[in-house]
Amino acid sequence: MSKRYYIETMGCQMNEYDSDHLSRILEDSGYLRSGDPEKADFVLLNTCSVREKAEQKALSRLGRLATLKRKNPRILLAVSGCVAQQRGVDLLERFPGLDLVLGPREIGNFRTILGKAEKGGMRVASINTHGTPAFFSGGFEYFQRHVKAYITIMEGCDNFCSYCIVPYVRGRETSRSPRELLDEAKSLTLQGVKEITLLGQNVNSYAHEKMRFPGLLAAMNEIKGLDRIRFTTSHPKDLSPELIQCFAHMEKLCSHIHLPFQAGSNRVLKSMRRGYTREKYMDLIGELRKARPGIAVTSDVMVGFPGETQEEFELTLDLMRRVEFDNLFSFKYSDREGTPAARMEGKIQEPEKLARLARLQDLQRAITLKKNRELINQDVEVLVEGPSKKGQGLTGRTTTNKIVNFNCDNKCINKIVHVTIKRASFNSLWGELTSSAR
């Protein structure tokens, strides 16, 4: 009887990519996927520690999964991702049923580590941060019937923003070779993938020998069978004029960029070690909109950074009104152990952080709804991903990364169709099919 595996993923798209990578290795090793951890022989939790709440959620979930070991001692229990890297051997002490702690840079060695774990009698914490990003060449059939996929092009971050744990758990920046990346992208398109998102903690700082990120995008743009290219996450200080011009002439590059701004106050940005000013950030938005009119801009923003005054918070709201983001990922500051910000004075009290976050989210909700309603009666191109989770026919995304639900039979799946928008809400759009699939 075949062994079964279960993987649960928390956190960012890079974790989703890593989970796919681990899944392919497990399936290549003879495992079958299970949707139930209680019916699995290998159980893995892929974790995130970018914020305190995410870390605590991961540790709580790991504690619940550890109880499976008491019922079935033969289960192999593993944890990967940023919490695994940050806590390391301590996790083996805290959770006696845990067999394997795997840092993000050790995923390339997972096949060897798995073989050792299967032999039993060994609990392993593999957390080297100096390894190269993983590359997997087997499991060709894994992405068949997938419309979109991710490719991690680089690992780590050299920015060391004062509040961020990423450089400590993901290591310094290391870029994969362009040949590996192009081979992986071509393999995905041969399996039917139409949209690829290029991933990195600071994706636009990609550099491998003479190849820079705009050059990599140009090479990806030439791949036959690939309809759309996205990338995330960008850093404003590395958004070069050459990269901005990619939006002007690369037809496969989607009309969307995720460009975190974090705060609207120059003093706070300096304290965060972000490396740009509010004025520079707004200039970049202007250049992007000049290169690609109608481009959607989403962002990350933080409230309650140590020392942030009420006036400085108002500057964040002012920047939001000026830019009019299509959407925001917003959160309140939390200390991350080992970062410079955790040692700063002037911590904002929790009730005040919550009040500021509520005001910010109310403002963004109004902006997003306004921008979505402006699409009513417009014709948009939608890459159809599959059935809607809400039972509203099929669902897909525009090139601006907006969710669209509409009615059509399944022949539209994995195709680009034209839809006329009829209704708009904060989270999604609803429309009517106006052209056949291509």
CA angle 104–238–227, rounded 5-degree value: 75
Interval 50-59 mean pLDDT: 85
Question: Do residues 391 and 363 share a domain?
Answer: no
Q: If pLDDT is split at 50, 70 and 90, which confidence band does 132 have?
A: low
Interval 407-433 mean pLDDT: 93
CATH number at residue 12: 3.40.50.12160
Q: If pLDDT is split at 50, 70 and 90, which confidence band does 53 have?
A: confident
Q: If pLDDT is split at 50, 70 and 90, which confidence band does 172 have?
A: confident
Q: If pLDDT is split at 50, 70 and 90, which confidence band does 138 have?
A: low
Residue 56 counted as domain residue: yes
Is residue 168 within a helix (H) or strand (E), and if so which, with residue range?
Answer: helix 166-170
Better pLDDT: 389 or 47: 47
Interval 195-208 mean pLDDT: 95
Query: What pLDDT score was predicted for residue 207?
Result: 95
Range of the domain at 334: 259-374
At 147, phi and psi to the nearest 5? -85, -35
Question: Do residues 396 and 305 share a domain?
Answer: no
Is 0.75 topped by the overall pTM? yes
Residue 72 counted as domain residue: yes
Are 324 and 285 contacting, i.e. CB atoms less than 8 angstroms apart? no
Question: Do residues 287 and 392 share a domain?
Answer: no
At 394, phi and psi to the nearest 5? -105, 165
Residue 139 scores a pLDDT above 60: no
> What is the CA 239 to chain-centroid distance, rounded?
18
Residue 132 counted as domain residue: no
Question: Do residues 111 and 15 share a domain?
Answer: yes
Question: Do residues 284 and 220 share a domain?
Answer: no
Residue 202 counted as domain residue: yes
pLDDT, tens only, 345-369? 999 999 999 999 999 999 999 999 9
Better pLDDT: 222 or 125: 222
Question: Do residues 351 and 386 share a domain?
Answer: no
pLDDT, tens only, 380-417? 999 999 998 877 799 999 999 999 999 988 889 999 99
CATH number at residue 395: 2.40.50.140
Question: Do residues 384 and 370 share a domain?
Answer: no
Residue 136 scores a pLDDT above 70: no
Question: What count of other Cβ atoms lies within 10 Å of the Cβ of residue 151?
Answer: 21
Query: What pLDDT score was predicted for residue 323?
Result: 98
pLDDT averaged over every residue in the chain: 91
Interval 83-96 mean pLDDT: 89
Q: Which of 247, 242, 325 is nearest to 282 (CA)?
A: 325
Residue 105 counted as domain residue: yes
**Whose structure tokens read 């099929």?**
394
Query: What pLDDT score was predicted for residue 409?
Result: 84
Select the highest-mean-pLDDT range: 39-48, 78-87, 109-118, 244-253.
244-253
Q: Which of 212, 236, 252, 330 is nearest to 288 (CA)?
A: 236
At 380, phi and psi to the nearest 5? -130, 150
Q: What share of the chain is helix, strand, coil (3-state, %, to 5)?
A: 40, 25, 35
Query: What pLDDT score was predicted for residue 374?
Result: 97
Question: Do residues 143 and 246 share a domain?
Answer: yes
Better pLDDT: 304 or 116: 304
Question: Do residues 354 and 321 share a domain?
Answer: yes
Last residue of a domain, one of 330, 354, 374: 374
Interval 426-435 mean pLDDT: 93
Query: What pLDDT score was predicted for residue 52?
Result: 79
Residue 133 counted as domain residue: no
SS3 category, 248: helix
Query: What pLDDT score was predicted for residue 134?
Result: 60
Residue 101 counted as domain residue: yes
Query: What pLDDT score was predicted for residue 144?
Result: 76
Strands 327-332 and 124-126, bridge-based pairing? unpaired
CA angle 54–18–44, rounded 5-degree value: 65
Interval 235-261 mean pLDDT: 97
Q: If pLDDT is split at 50, 70 and 90, which confidence band does 140 have?
A: low
**Whose structure tokens read 């009615």?**
407
Last residue of a domain, one of 192, 220, 254: 254
The CA distance from 319 to 94, in Å, is: 44
Task: Write out the two tokens for 387.
Answer: 């059935």
Question: Do residues 195 and 246 share a domain?
Answer: yes
Residue 3 scores a pLDDT above 80: yes
Query: What pLDDT score was predicted for residue 1?
Result: 66
At 270, phi and psi to the nearest 5? -65, -40
Query: What pLDDT score was predicted for residue 332?
Result: 96
Question: Do residues 383 and 370 share a domain?
Answer: no
Interval 238-248 mean pLDDT: 97
Sign of CA dihedral 155, 156, 161, 162: positive
The CA distance from 79 to 318, in Å, is: 42
Residue 189 scores a pLDDT above 70: yes
Interval 135-163 mean pLDDT: 82
Last residue of a domain, one of 126, 158, 175: 126
Query: What pLDDT score was predicted for residue 119?
Result: 81
